[in-house]
């Protein structure tokens, strides 16, 4: 696998946020019409080939001008950060208010993070967001359906609209993030729509690189952070699917895998199943969170059906529902661990098992869910809680 390719002059634009002035992929050289002393020059349009320098700093030029859809979510932050810190120009496509991308503005050099408003149902706004980019990354996803958007609206029609616009704009690399467990025949609406979305994207852009990550772990994730809130504020932990197996992947490792995929032309047109180094059951994971947060609330293992019904009826009234029927279906019906039949894995993106963060090393952020008295406590995994914790 080729990594850390050197940037050529093609993308060397003035670093003044001049992204909207010039199309990077269509640079012409030698446009003299014969009036110059050296005689006529042949006009040459350079072939499209992306050259990326992964090793520069934020004031260097990586050669990437990327539009990131879904950048305002949990994982988007990691992607924009990785792109910005090697000196890329990043068009942050957002749909909400201007405050939704505010935290991303500091992730690149001055003027290099460019916001572009879009509506996933309006192709013209999508076209506008991709027109000057040589890379498009689609991270748009929903974990549960709402009145306004179904899974198909976002994972299928939305993904198709983004892929079409990227194709028309002639972008050089298209990275589509799906999910491990995506399966057209799944009983989970999420898994099914993700699989159909992949197929639609592949039809439009055969060279798209599709990444299917397992549950991602990191600050503000939807797994450990959610459990952290539950152990901290619920009187007891209502647990379901305690034997379901997960293979969580650190969001930072996923971001590294994505950048490696971008830098390697060999990943064009391939699918990757990406999972972490360890398999954890729901029971083990929730107990781990309880230990790390030094809480000792009781766990109540409930059958799935009533919890699903309760979630289904309450989730529409809650801003951040802890359980949703769609997510429970996904955990219940989809395979959340790496299949032995997976063709391409994270190792094919240059990360060995030893490079990956374990749950223990990546879950330091769980400290924020401790009571103030326990913030500085060192948790002894073997004996679970230290003396101080026991007496507290
Ligand atoms: N997090 C995980 O554990 C995990 C695991 C496997 C796969 N994935 C996939 O990885 C991708 C990124 O995940 P994430 O955790 O960062 O998700 P996230 O935090 O829920 O963010 C989703 C992004 O999609 C945007 N979005 C959702 N609905 C939209 C709509 N109707 N129109 C336009 N934009 C819309 C959101 O915009 P707003 O901010 O405006 O809402 C946000 O930027 C998703 O495709 C997800 O399915 C995630």
Is residue 302 situated within a structural domain? Answer: no
What is the Cα–Cα distance from 258 to 83, expressed in whole angstroms?
A: 10
pLDDT recorded at residue 374 = 86
Give me the domain span that covers residue 186: 9-21+48-217+247-277+336-352
Residue nearest (by alpha carbon) to ligand 1 atom 12: 139
Which residue, among 20, 140, 119, 126, has the nearest Cα to 71 in the 3D structure? 140
The rounded Å distance from CA 184 to ligand 1 centre is: 20
Q: Whose CA is nearest to atom 7 of ligand 1?
A: 179
Pocket test for ligand 1, best of 82, 139, 252 (most atoms within 8 A of CB): 139
Atom of ligand 1 nearest to the CA of 154: 31
Number of folded domains that form the chain: 1
The verdict on pTM exceeding 0.95 is no
Residue 372 lies in a domain: no
* Protein residue whose Cα sits closest to atom 39 of ligand 1: 72
Angle at 145 between CA 142 and CA 148, to 5 degrees: 100
Q: In ligand 1, which atom is closest to the CA atom of 217?
A: 3
Mutate to test the pocket of ligand 1, among 70, 160, 359 (most ligand atoms within 8 A of CB): 70
Phi, psi of 138 (to 5 degrees): -105, 110
Per-residue burial over 64-96, b if 16 or more Cβ lie within 10 Å, else e, is bbbbbbbbbbbbbbbbbbbbbbbbbbbbbbbee
Residue 311 contacts by C-beta under 8 Å, 6 or more apart in sequence?
321, 323, 324, 325, 328
Write the residue with the smallest CA distance to atom 47 of ligand 1: 141
What residues line ligand 1, using a CB cutoff of 6 Å? 70, 72-76, 95-96, 100, 120, 139-143, 149, 154, 177, 179, 213, 215-216, 221-222
What CATH number is attached to the domain comprising 144? 3.40.50.720
Distance from Cα 118 to the centre of ligand 1, integer Å: 15
Q: DSSP for 43-67?
A: -EEPP------TT--TTS--S-EEE
| pLDDT tens sequence for the chain (392 residues) | 433 332 333 333 333 333 443 333 433 333 334 344 444 433 333 445 678 888 889 999 999 999 999 999 999 999 999 999 999 999 999 999 999 999 999 999 999 999 999 999 999 999 999 999 999 999 999 999 999 999 999 999 999 999 999 999 999 999 999 999 999 999 999 999 999 999 999 999 999 999 999 999 999 999 999 999 999 999 999 999 999 999 999 999 999 999 999 999 999 999 999 999 999 999 999 999 999 999 889 999 999 999 999 999 999 899 889 999 999 999 999 999 999 999 999 999 999 999 999 999 999 999 999 988 888 887 765 555 554 544 44
Cα–Cα distance between 188 and 195 in angstroms, integer?
11
Separation of CA 293 and ligand 1 centre (Å): 27
Please tell me whether residue 161 adopts helix, strand or coil conformation.
Answer: helix
* Ligand 1 atom 44 nearest Cα: 141
Does residue 212 belong to any structural domain of this protein?
A: yes
Listed in sequence order, the residues at least 6 apart from 247 whose beta carbon sits closer than 8 Å to its beta carbon are 180, 214, 215, 275, 276, 278, 279, 280, 336, 337, 338
Q: How far is Cα 349 from Cα 261, in angstroms, rounded to an integer?
A: 6
CA–CA separation, 75 vs 320, rounded Å? 17
Give the CA distances from residue 271 to residues 57, 165, 353, in Å, rounded to whole numbers and listed in that order: 29, 21, 19
143 in a structural domain? yes
**Domain for residue 268, yes or no?**
yes
Cα 117 to ligand 1 centroid, rounded to whole Å: 16
Residue 340 is assigned to a structural domain of this protein: yes
Please choose from 141, 177, 181, 321 the residue to mutate so as to test ligand 1's pocket, defined by most ligand atoms within 8 A of CB: 141
Expressed in angstroms and rounded, the spacing between residue 69 Cα and the centre of ligand 1 is 9
Determine, yes or no, domain membership for 145: yes
* pLDDT on residue 51: 81
Ligand 1 atom with the shortest distance to the CA of 194: 47
Look at residue 313 and tell me if it is in a domain.
Answer: no
What atom of ligand 1 comes closest to residue 100's alpha carbon? 39
Rounded to the nearest angstrom, the distance between the alpha carbon of 190 and the centre of ligand 1 is 12
């Amino acid at each position: 696998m080729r990594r850390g390719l050197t940037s050529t002059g093609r993308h060397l634009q003035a670093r003044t946020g001049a992204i909207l002035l010039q199309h990077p992929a269509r640079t012409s050289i030698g446009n003299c019409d014969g009036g110059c002393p050296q005689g006529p020059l042949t006009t040459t349009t350079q072939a499209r080939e992306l050259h990326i320098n992964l090793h520069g700093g934020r004031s260097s030029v990586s050669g990437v001008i990327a539009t990131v859809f879904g950048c305002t979510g949990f994982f988007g932050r990691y992607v924009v950060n990785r792109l910005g810190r090697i000196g890329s120009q990043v068009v942050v496509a957002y749909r909400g208010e201007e405050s939704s991308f505010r935290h991303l503005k500091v992730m690149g050099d001055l003027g290099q993070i460019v916001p572009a408003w879009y509506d996933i149902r309006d192709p013209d706004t999508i076209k506008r967001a991709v027109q000057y980019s040589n890379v498009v990354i689609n991270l748009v996803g929903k974990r549960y359906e709402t009145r306004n958007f179904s899974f198909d609206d976002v994972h299928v029609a939305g993904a198709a609209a983004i892929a079409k616009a990227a194709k028309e704009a002639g972008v050089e690399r298209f990275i589509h993030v799906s999910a491990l467990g995506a399966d057209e025949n799944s009983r989970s609406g999420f898994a099914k729509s993700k699989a159909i979305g992949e197929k639609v994207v592949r039809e439009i852009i055969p060279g798209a690189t599709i990444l299917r990550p397992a549950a991602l772990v990191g600050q503000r994730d939807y797994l450990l952070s959610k459990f952290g809130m539950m152990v901290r504020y619920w009187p007891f932990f209502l647990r379901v699917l305690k034997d379901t197996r997960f293979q969580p992947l650190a969001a930072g490792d996923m971001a590294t895998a994505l950048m490696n995929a971008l830098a390697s032309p060999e990943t064009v047109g391939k699918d990757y199943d990406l999972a972490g180094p360890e398999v954890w059951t729901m029971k083990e994971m929730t107990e781990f969170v309880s230990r790390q947060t030094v809480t000792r609330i009781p766990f109540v293992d409930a059958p799935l059906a009533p919890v699903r019904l309760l979630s289904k009826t309450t989730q529409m009234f809650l801003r951040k529902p802890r359980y949703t029927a769609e997510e429970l279906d996904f955990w219940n019906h989809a395979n959340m661990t790496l299949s032995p039949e997976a063709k391409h894995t994270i190792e094919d993106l240059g990360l060995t098992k030893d490079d990956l963060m374990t749950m223990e090393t990546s879950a330091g952020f769980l400290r924020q869910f401790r009571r103030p008295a326990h913030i500085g406590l060192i948790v002894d995994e073997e004996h679970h809680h230290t003396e101080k914790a026991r007496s507290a």
